[in-house]
Amino acid sequence: MIVFLIGFMGSGKSFYAKGLSEYLHVPFVDLDQFIEEEQAISISEIFEKMGESAFRTIESIAIKQVYKDLVDRTTETQQKNDILGVISCGGGTPCFNGNMDWMNEHGLTVWINPAEEIIWERLIKEPKTRPLVASLTEDALKEFIHQKLLERKPYYEKAQSVINQPDVTISEFVNIIQNAKNLF
Ligand code: S3P
């Protein structure tokens, strides 16, 4: 089984993907990083040169390819029972091209859902590499997070498991995944 980590920009997907991968001794793939390596161009440049809609097409193809790479070398029994790898999605991945339904059919989706204030505090501190928010002032960013989250929640809410409390430890995260895994 593959674990898909979803959630808004700055929600901690990459942090937890890395932590889970170390704890469980399974590979993890950061989808944005995979796309950048594969296309040999940054996410910002893809947005700039090709537009968001082209990025969303590339992203939908990439998630399937990363999934296939992770499961291809394993048996059917392992695919059903074991956690084989963790994929850290982009913030918008679940919201386009039916990706959320596809992920729910192919693995365990976990929504990392910190409070808006926490997301905002993280994003204002991080380097301005995210094209959707790079040019926003701190106040505009706060409003953007609020509006985009409202828009994206219907997709995020389809996740099979949700982490609402901030700062869960990796071992708590693993417990949550193990419990959810037994249900799906
Ligand atoms: C996006 C989030 C980014 C990246 C792209 C678009 C989004 O990923 O995929 O900039 O639409 O929320 P992170 O959530 O990893 O920052």
Per-residue confidence (pLDDT) for residue 165, from 0 to 100: 87
Residue pair 119/11 in contact (Cβ under 8 Å)? The answer is: yes
Q: Tokens at residue 145, please?
A: 């997070």
Residue type, 164: N
Q: Which tens digits make up the pLDDT trace of 107-139? A: 999 999 999 999 999 999 987 889 999 999 999
130 Cβ closer than 6 Å to some ligand 1 atom = yes
pTM of the model: 0.95
Q: Which residues of the chain have pLDDT under 50?
A: none
Per-residue confidence (pLDDT) for residue 32, from 0 to 100: 97
- Closest approach atom of ligand 1 to CA 95: 11
Per-residue confidence (pLDDT) for residue 15, from 0 to 100: 95
Per-residue confidence (pLDDT) for residue 167, from 0 to 100: 87
Per-residue confidence (pLDDT) for residue 111, from 0 to 100: 98
- Closest approach atom of ligand 1 to CA 44: 10
Per-residue confidence (pLDDT) for residue 147, from 0 to 100: 98
35 Cβ closer than 6 Å to some ligand 1 atom = no
Residue pair 113/7 in contact (Cβ under 8 Å)? The answer is: yes
Per-residue confidence (pLDDT) for residue 145, from 0 to 100: 98
Nearest CA to ligand 1 atom 2: 91
The C-alpha atoms of residue 110 and residue 7 are separated, in whole angstroms, by 8
Q: Which three-class secondary structure state does DSSP give residue 159?
A: coil
Burial annotation 78-94 (CB, 10 A radius, 16+ → b, else e)? ebeeebbbbbbbbbbbb
Q: Tokens at residue 9, please?
A: 């920009």
Per-residue confidence (pLDDT) for residue 56, from 0 to 100: 98
> Burial level of 119, CB count in 10 A (0-12/13-18/19+)?
buried
Per-residue confidence (pLDDT) for residue 105, from 0 to 100: 96
From 47, 130, 136, 149, the mutation candidate for ligand 1 (largest count of ligand atoms within 8 A of CB) is: 130
Per-residue confidence (pLDDT) for residue 81, from 0 to 100: 67
Dihedral sign, CA of 120, 126, 130, 131? positive
Per-residue confidence (pLDDT) for residue 73, from 0 to 100: 77
